[in-house]
Structures are given as C-alpha cells and as structure tokens.
Amino acid sequence: MTQTRKWLPSLVNNEVKMVPRVFVLLLSSFGFLEVWSHGGPVSLVQSLDGEWKLWNSNKSLSLPARVPGCVHTALQEQGFIKDPYFRFNDLLYEWISLDNWTYASTFAVSKEVRSKQKVLLVLDGVDTAASIWLNGVSVGHTDNMFRQYVFPVRDLLTGEENVLTVHFLSPVLYAAQKRKAHSAYAVPPECPPDVQKGQCHVNFIRKAQSSFSWDWGPSFPGAGLWKGVRLEAFDLLRLDRFATFPLYDAKHSAWTLVVEMLLDTLQLMNGVQITLDVPELLSRATFSTNVRQGNAKYSFSLSINVSSKVKLWWPNGLGGQPSYRLLITVCSEDGKSLYSVRSKVYFRTVELVQEPIVGSPGLSFYFRINGKPVFLKGSNWIPAHSFQDRVTPDALRELLRSATDANMNVLRVWGGGVYERDAFYDTCDELGLMVWQDFMFACAMYPTDDDFLRTVREEVYQQIWRLKSHPSVIVWSANNENEAALATDWFHIPGWRRSIYLKDYVTLYVNNIMTLVKQEDPSRPFLASSPTNGAESEREGYVADNPYDPRYGDTHFYSYEADCWDWRAFPRARLASEYGFQSWPSLAALLPVSVAEDRSFNSRFADHRQHHLDGNQQMLKQASIHFPLPNSSQPLTRFTHTLYLTQVTQAQCVKTQTEFYRRSRSELLGGLGHTMGALYWQLNDIWQGPSWSSIEFGGKWKMLHYFAVDFFADVLPVAFEDDGELLIYAISDLSQDLKLNVVVSVYKWSDLDPICMLRSKSAAVPGGSAVPVFKRSIAVLLVGCGNCSRLSCLLAFHLEDENGARHGPVNHHFLCSPKDAVGLRPPNITAKVRENETELLVDVESQAIAPFVWLDVGDVEGRFGSNGFLMLSRKKTVAFHARRNTSVTQLSRALTVISLSDLYLP
Ligand code: BMA
C-alpha cells in the first residue's frame, strides 16, 4: 500500500504562521526553536510518522503500528494483548521483548524532494538495536535509543513505492550477546535482584536502564521507533543543530549571547551573512563567514547593548522566568535569504560553589544562580511510563506543575531513565524548575570497548547540544551512584581486579563524558557522579574513598529500619540529592490493574508489585513505631487502611528529614551542615505499585506531596527536640529579611481548643537563612501549661510578623507517638461538597482533634487545596481543583474521608 504523506503545515512551535511559498523545516529535536526558509524551498521535510506495519520474527503476528510508538502499545491497541500493567502481565508478556520485530512503511516521494542534492533519512529515536533498510538496501544500524540517526538516502529513493523497514533485535538477546562478546571480564551486575523480576545485562545496551526492571518498576524492555522519522531534503545547506547560551562578564556587568550552529553544507559558500537580533534588548549584529563544505560548527557572540536592562531567569520562588526573542537570518553573499531561525533566549548564570568553609573540614557544595545562593528544593524524576508514547503532553505538564505547586525549584532527571523530551525542558524553563541532568548510567559498572564508547560519545554530544540552551538545566552529572558502587564495593569485586573497573570508570565518565561536556558546554558545571564528593572525589582520582562523606558534595541516604522521626539518624549533608521512604498508591490507582483477591497487603499481587526486598514489611515496621497497624475485620477496609497508613508514614518520614536539611542551612555543627539542598526520592511513578514517589501513577498526589507544599514553603517554622529541649527554627528562602516571632499553641489530644499559647520574642530572619527563634525545656513547657504531659498534649506553631500577619504554614510537633496518645476521641468527621462561583469546596467538620485527615475522591482527577492535615478546628474548608469537568454530585458520590483515628478508635 502506498501512503501519501502531507507536507508539514507548520512548525511544532506556536508563533510561526504559514506564509505561502514558505517551506518549513521541522526540527522537532530543538524544542523552543523555530526554523524556516524564505523565498524558495531550500530545505524540505517529509514526515514519515503515522501508521506503519509491524510484525514479529516468524510473522505469526502482523499489525498496524503508530510511529512514534512501540511494539507493546501497538499490540495493545490492536487487541493482541491486554493492559501490560494489569496484575502479572509484566511476566505474561515477557515474550514480547524476547522476540525480534520489524517496522515497515511504504511511501511516495515527490520529484521535488528527489531532485534535491541531498536527502537524509532522520530517525529521532530508535529503541534500540536495529538494522534499517530502504528499498531492499541496508542504510545503517542503530544501537542507542538516546541518539538521533541520520542516513543519506537520496539515491535509494523512487517516486511511488519506497519501502522503509526497521528490523529490531530483541533488546534482551542483544544485551546478552554483547555480554557474551565481552569475554575478558564481567561487568557487574549481571542481573537485577530476583525481587525485581527483570532481565539481565542492561548495562550492555544503551537503553533506559530501568526498562529491564528497577526497584520501583516493571521489566518491559520495549522496542520501536519512539520518536519521529522523516526525510529532509536540501540543496545548499541544512541547519543540523543549534544552541544558544548567555555568558556574563561580572567585571564589566555585560552579557553576551553565544549562538552556535552545526551546518551541513554541500559546497563552499563565501561571505555568508548571519544576522543575530534580540530586538527587545536593542542588540543586533551581522557576521560574515565562509561556510566550508561538510559538517562544521559555527559560533557567534552577540554583545547585549543594554545589559543593565536584561531581566533574569530565576528559579521558582525567587523571581520570574522572562525570555527574549532571538531572530537569526542567514543570507548568501548576494543577499538572498537562505533561512531564518527564531528562538527563545533566557539570561541567567549558574555556579557550583565548592570552597573551604571556616570552621569545617571539607568544602561547601551549593548552587549560585545569578550570584545568589539557592537552596535546592525538589525531587527526583523517573520515566513517567514504561512506554514513552503513553505519556501525554497534558500528563507531563501536570506532573511538572505539581512540582512547582509543591514549592519545588528543582528536579533531578535521574540517570536510569531517559533524557526527557523537549517539552519537559521547555516547561521547566517556563516554570522556573531547575534540572539536575544525569547522563543515563545507573547503579552498575559499564563496558568501555570501542563500540560502546563510540555510541556513548555520540549520545552525549547530541544530548548536550539538544539541552544546553535551556536555562533550567543547571548541572550535568555523569551517572547515578556508580562512584559509590565502586567505592563501597556493591558488586564484591576482588581487590586485584579493582583497577580494571577504576580505569573503566575514569575512561567513561572523565576522559569521555567530562571531556565532551567541557568542550561542548562550558556554560554550566559538571559532576562525575551523584552522590559524589565533587572536587574531593576529583582529587582522589574521581572515585573517593567514601562518596557519601557529608563534608563534601551531595549525598544519598536511605535507612528504613531506624525511627524516621529521629533526626539524629540523618547525615548532616552539604546537599541531600536522594533520600526517601516507600508507600503504596491509592486503591483507585490499583483497581484497574487488580482483581478482588489482589486487594490485600498479603496477596501474591502485593508481593509481586513490590520490587524492593522486604519493602512491604519495612513499611509496616516503620509505621508500627508510631502508629497502630490496621486491624479491621473487613479485608478491603484493612487493605485501604494499610495503603493510607503507608502514605501517612512516608509523608511524616520525608517531612522530618526534609525539615532537618532545611534547618541545617545556616549551621555548622562539628564541621557539618551548611546544607543547601533537599531532593527526595522520587517525584513520580512508572506504574501502579509501591514506591518512594509522592505522586502516584496517573498524577494523583499522595499524602507526601501535600506535605511537600508545606515543608518546601518559602518561609517555614520547624520544631525538633534536642536533649529534652524544644527548639523552633524559622527558615526563609526569601530574598528580603524578615522580623518574626513564633506562636506555639499547646493542645490536649482530647480538646479542640488550645490550653495555652506561648509567643517568642521577635527575631531577625535574614533572607536565605535558618535561625533558632525558640528554645524551651519540654518539661518546663508542659508544667507551665498546666495539666499536660507528653502523652496528652501536642504542639502547633506558626510564624508571625510584628503586625500579627502569619508567614508560612502552621506546623505541628507530636510529643509522643500517636499510638500512645492519651485522650484522642472519635472525631466523627463529615465532609460536604458545595460550589461557589469559581470552584468546588469541601466543608470538613470534626468533633475532635483528628490527625492525618485524608480526603479521597477515587478516580476523579484533581487535587485538594490541602490534604492529610491535622484537624485542630471544628470546621475547615478545602478547595478541590478538578482536572476535568466534574460536579458537586459526582464529587460527593466519590468522596470519602478518613483519619488516623479510624484505624483504632471504635
Ligand atoms: C537510589 C536511586 C534509585 C533507586 C532508589 C531507591 O539508589 O538512585 O536507583 O530506585 O535509590 O532504592
């Protein structure tokens, strides 16, 4: 069958309007960039996206398949398989990744295209090992899902019936073959732990490392054309890559905009005129250059004339994210316009500060944006689906919005997933979400044979070019935990073999990746790993003795056994880039992927979804330290109570730990402290299962995410106990200084009215600091309040300025475990939905203090203004922000409310 494909009508981007006789060059990999050519079709683009054919190796299955897409999605859409996430289907559908698959497309190519001097076949993403054939002729091979592949095909094209086939090798078999060929020595780990039910040798294939299973995700090693495919035809030159970044000369307070282009040129062109124009900043310059034949890089610097007028890009919470329009025109010597580019540019500086700290061994480790030290508040990002084509633009945006709505200013794109799509970084730019960008290597040793290094170098090169224009990206980091894995010997490497792996480590991350980063993007810092001791690791040959050393660099810290309410267990790190606790998602998330018998904490299903050894038991054990375990005789009630309790436990654990990091910002104790970042593990989920995430699969916020809104608030009071004393710190990430006092209300568990209130003296809270504002012996405080004890009372507190205005959220401090609390009464909570002119509201009423009140609306998409809260009043109104149209009736029907009291009060 011959399909006719349409010429692309316009660019991905929003601003360009189609003008007659303007042919548009689609550069989907450039994100916020628009390119078009004037006065004649210099470049033509023919998309080959759309419906292709797909079959397996023995052709027992043959079906239509969408491109971009993947085999699993195609099989599901055509009814050959059910939802891969349903129950145990990850095991049932293992055969899909053990088979080889072929994608094929038949298409016509116009004379216009074929008459161009050069026609390229461009594949933006091929997952992963494949051979590509056009009209029966091999055009090339692929071995890396993170690369764009480009093949010249002009002479292979015919008019009507062109057949393009892409033969995919099973990724699992390919990885095994590569491992076998690497006979000199093993490159551990050979396989994931059994509990992950995954595939082996993922470190031998340049594919999302988590696709062979992870401790929060299933094994679905997919195959397919996961990004677009197109023909690009041109006569003179083609803009292959484009990037722009600002440089700031502090001495002269002057900005320069660097514009870089990679041009693919068919003949020497003298005197090409390149004009750069940022009209809003009255800056324009024309450069004349000779363009060589072949692929070459051209770099131009535009001085910004009104540097003092430049509005800076700031991280969320610290200012806006203004952008400017950059217009580029390229003309031939005789003044004929060849093409134009329009792009967004942003101005900001970034530095990673590692310098001696007075009174401390070690080095500081923090980011300075536009000269200002910024405390990183955020989380870690994992792939939002096993099948990337299933991630809708809306879902992606909603996740990123959820991050900024929880007062985050950073996400770390973790090295075991994928380099995210352009829309991800565009949105981060817009939202002021900084990105800590890992290269895609995680929790393993990697080979360094020539083929591997060659493909990695190309991958790294392309990703740097694709992402370096984004102000959101503040740091490159070469891998996840591989320095630590080597230093602390995760894989039990015999001493005499260690040097092999050390050498491989330095070869890959330093000699190759770091060298490339320094060469292609000197505009932002580079780290060889996370966690790392940074400059100290470098001094120790890039693998430090202890990369978790809190005196240097960033730290990952996990402890499931110790009581997470005890801050003394946490390392006082310079920057905490990973820490966390697991929880289960809501029942609503589990319903579509389970049947009745699965809905119990001891079911085979609950066990199957848990990919972290003893994870379910760890959650219960941690919960039981402070809470009663659910014991309802109703199995489904017991299950939902258990899901709820794991979320309560997780929220409370991560709150305690994050508050510890935030209050350690200005302090040095025993040389430790000056903590400048808290990124918990992990923001999002890949499927419906237990994990460290604060947002479950589908976008619903877990209790932790609601807690994050408060514990990441710009101004926050934090309480903790030290040696019988209660201390309250005021934390401020604001730019301006404040004068604040803390108001402490002491409540009895049995009474909704406070029994006494205390107010501290007003204290200076400088912008960007954490300062103690209250200190009192707990015993004295309790006696002073009258009839009060640790078991019968609890504290709520907030910050106020001299005019009595509250700053930041109300926080609370438990003086005992809720399971030991004396006087808790049944709250008999009721919740009623109503509507005002603009939104849906829930009126919550309670007859007693109720901890961790949780409003749930099942699968109605949206989120509450607040949730999981401590009810200290008789009435509270909570807004519901619906994502889809919903009504009072629908919401009322779906609404349930639960609090901790439901778990053990009659
Ligand atoms: C860290 C991460 C991930 C993992 C998480 C939870 O090691 O980098 O590899 O999912 O901890 O175990």
Residue pLDDT, tens place only, 83-120: 999 999 999 999 999 999 999 999 999 999 999 999 99
12 has a pLDDT exceeding 50:
no
* 905, HSE (Cβ side, Cα atoms, 13 Å): 20
Phi, psi angle pair for 249, to nearest 5° = -100, 100
Q: What is the mean pLDDT of residues 26-35?
A: 46
2 has a pLDDT exceeding 80:
no
Report the range of poorest mean pLDDT among 27-41, 304-318, 533-547, 655-669. 27-41
Note if 481 is an active site residue.
yes
Determine the atom of ligand 1 nearest the C-alpha atom of 612: 12
The CA distances from residue 208 to 97, 387, 577, 689, 782, in Å, are 14, 11, 21, 19, 55
Determine the atom of ligand 1 nearest the C-alpha atom of 216: 10
The percent of residues above 90 in pLDDT, for the chain, comes to 93
Relative orientation angle of helices 393-405 and 422-431, to the nearest 10 degrees: 30
Q: How confident is the model at residue 878 (pLDDT cuts 50, 70, 90)?
A: very high
pLDDT of residue 337: 87
Residue for token pair 């430090």? 544
Please state, in angstroms and rounded to a whole number, the distance separating the CA atoms of residues 743 and 809. 12
Please state, in angstroms and rounded to a whole number, the distance separating the CA atoms of residues 599 and 827. 27
Q: Atom 7 (ligand 1): residue with closest C-alpha?
A: 481
Long-range CB pairs of 287-294, under 8 A, 24+ apart, other chains included: 291/237, 291/263, 291/265, 292/265, 292/268, 293/265, 293/266, 293/267, 293/268, 294/264, 294/265
Q: What is the mean pLDDT of residues 394-415?
A: 98
pLDDT of residue 20: 25
- Number of neighbouring beta carbons within 10 Å of residue 322: 13
Report the range of poorest mean pLDDT among 26-35, 200-209, 519-528, 767-776. 26-35
Contact between 898 and 828 under an 8 Å Cβ cutoff? The reply is no
Q: How confident is the model at residue 5 (pLDDT cuts 50, 70, 90)?
A: very low
Task: Quote the ligand 1 centre to 589 CA distance (angstroms).
Answer: 22
| Cβ contacts of 571 within 8 Å, gap of 6 or more | 548, 550, 555, 557, 672
pLDDT tens for each residue of 543-564: 999 999 999 999 999 999 999 9
Say if strands 212-214 and 162-168 run parallel, antiparallel, or are unpaired.
unpaired
More confident: 126 or 16:
126
Q: What is the mean pLDDT of residues 678-683?
A: 99
DSSP designation for 189: -
Edge-to-edge strand ranges of the sheet holding 294-303: 237-249, 254-265, 294-303
pLDDT of residue 34: 62
The CA distances from residue 276 to 16, 312, 330, 341, 691, in Å, are 18, 20, 9, 10, 48
Q: What is the pTM of this model?
A: 0.95
pLDDT of residue 27: 40
pLDDT of residue 33: 56
Q: What is the mean pLDDT of residues 606-613?
A: 98
Written as six digits, the tokens of 315 are 């991280």
Ligand 1 in reach of 692 Cβ (< 6 A): yes
Q: What is the mean pLDDT of residues 293-312?
A: 95
Ligand 1 in reach of 480 Cβ (< 6 A): yes
Q: What is the mean pLDDT of residues 118-145?
A: 98
Q: How confident is the model at residue 10 (pLDDT cuts 50, 70, 90)?
A: very low
498 has a pLDDT exceeding 70:
yes
Nearest one of 561, 582, 572 to 660, comparing CA atoms:
572
Please state, in angstroms and rounded to a whole number, the distance separating the CA atoms of residues 25 and 37. 7
300 has a pLDDT exceeding 90:
yes
Note if 578 is an active site residue.
yes
Ligand 1 in reach of 864 Cβ (< 6 A): no
Determine the atom of ligand 1 nearest the C-alpha atom of 214: 10
Please state, in angstroms and rounded to a whole number, the distance separating the CA atoms of residues 536 and 552. 7
Q: 3-class SS at 214?
A: strand
pLDDT of residue 787: 84
Q: Atom 1 (ligand 1): residue with closest C-alpha?
A: 578
Mutate-to-test residue for ligand 1 from 479, 681, 694, highest number of ligand atoms within 8 A of CB: 681
Contact between 300 and 256 under an 8 Å Cβ cutoff? The reply is no
Report the range of poorest mean pLDDT among 21-35, 67-81, 356-370, 459-473. 21-35
Q: How confident is the model at residue 339 (pLDDT cuts 50, 70, 90)?
A: confident
pLDDT of residue 26: 39
Q: How confident is the model at residue 338 (pLDDT cuts 50, 70, 90)?
A: confident
Please state, in angstroms and rounded to a whole number, the distance separating the CA atoms of residues 585 and 240. 44
Contact between 117 and 266 under an 8 Å Cβ cutoff? The reply is yes
Domains located in the chain, CATH noted: 10-30+39-231 (2.60.120.260), 237-345 (2.60.40.10), 372-711 (3.20.20.80), 715-820 (2.60.40.10), 830-904 (2.60.40.10)
The CA distances from residue 729 to 359, 726, 754, 793, in Å, are 22, 10, 22, 21
Mutate-to-test residue for ligand 1 from 532, 578, 691, highest number of ligand atoms within 8 A of CB: 578
Cα 625 to the chain's mean position, in Å? 31
Q: How confident is the model at residue 905 (pLDDT cuts 50, 70, 90)?
A: low
Three-state SS for 320-336 is: CCCCEEEEEEEECCCCC
Residue for token pair 């009372």? 793
pLDDT of residue 31: 41
Ligand 1 in reach of 420 Cβ (< 6 A): no
Task: Quote the ligand 1 centre to 443 CA distance (angstroms).
Answer: 8
Q: What is the mean pLDDT of residues 38-66?
A: 89
Ligand 1 in reach of 685 Cβ (< 6 A): no
Please state, in angstroms and rounded to a whole number, the distance separating the CA atoms of residues 507 and 331. 43
Long-range CB pairs of 40-43, under 8 A, 24+ apart, other chains included: 41/112, 42/234, 42/235, 42/236, 42/237, 42/338, 42/339, 43/232, 43/233, 43/234, 43/238, 43/339
**Catalytic-role residue among 232, 260, 481, 483:** 481
132 has a pLDDT exceeding 70:
yes
Q: Where are the beta strands (DSSP E) in 38-169?
A: 43-47, 50-56, 62-67, 101-107, 118-123, 126-127, 129-134, 137-143, 149-152, 162-168
Q: What is the mean pLDDT of residues 707-721?
A: 98
Contact between 541 and 477 under an 8 Å Cβ cutoff? The reply is no
The CA distances from residue 372 to 661, 675, 733, in Å, are 19, 15, 11
Determine the atom of ligand 1 nearest the C-alpha atom of 480: 8
134 has a pLDDT exceeding 80:
yes
- Number of neighbouring beta carbons within 10 Å of residue 464: 21
Please state, in angstroms and rounded to a whole number, the distance separating the CA atoms of residues 679 and 9. 42
- Number of neighbouring beta carbons within 10 Å of residue 747: 23
Q: How confident is the model at residue 347 (pLDDT cuts 50, 70, 90)?
A: very high
Q: Atom 4 (ligand 1): residue with closest C-alpha?
A: 215
Phi, psi angle pair for 317, to nearest 5° = 95, -20
Residue for token pair 């299973």? 213
pLDDT of residue 865: 98
22 has a pLDDT exceeding 60:
no
- Name the residue type at position 314: W
Mean pLDDT of the chain: 94
Written as six digits, the tokens of 77 are 């859409």
pLDDT tens for each residue of 793-852: 999 999 999 999 999 999 999 999 999 999 999 999 999 999 998 899 999 999 999 999
**Catalytic-role residue among 578, 659, 696, 800:** 578
